[in-house]
Amino acid sequence: MNKNLFKILIDHDLINTQTIVCVQVKVRYWNDLSGIERGNIKWSPKVKAEDIQQIEGMTPERFARSYNINPDGTIKIYKKRGRKPKHVLTNISV
């Protein structure tokens, strides 16, 4: 997962301690064999960005796109369309 994207998701509180993430970590078994395990846990600040495989069952890029965030971590800004609200308009006297 992109570190910039990871930082943006945390700043916007899209990843918090209640978010379930799928992580892939190295483990050492009781007989001194090592391997890679994958499992679902609740996110904590100890989890690194490169260990995250999925967020809430989606790839990090797809999760970010659902909140209008690009996979590289930039945010799409849309121009609002339509009429301005009345409280925004200024009184123009002639």
Do residues 70 and 43 touch, judged by C-beta distance below 8 A? no
pTM tops 0.85, yes or no:
no
Q: What's the mean per-residue pLDDT of the chain? A: 87
Q: Can you tell me the distance from the alpha carbon of 68 to that of 70, in angstroms, rounded to the nearest whole number?
A: 7
DSSP H helices, 17-91, are 60-65
Do residues 21 and 52 touch, judged by C-beta distance below 8 A? yes
Do residues 82 and 58 touch, judged by C-beta distance below 8 A? no
Confidence tier at 59 by pLDDT (50, 70, 90): very high
Of 14-18, 41-45, 67-71, 76-80, least confident by mean pLDDT is: 76-80
pLDDT single digits (tens) 76-87: 777 778 877 777
Please choose, from the candidates 28, 54, 26, the residue with its C-alpha nearest in 3D space to the C-alpha of residue 41.
54
Confidence tier at 73 by pLDDT (50, 70, 90): confident
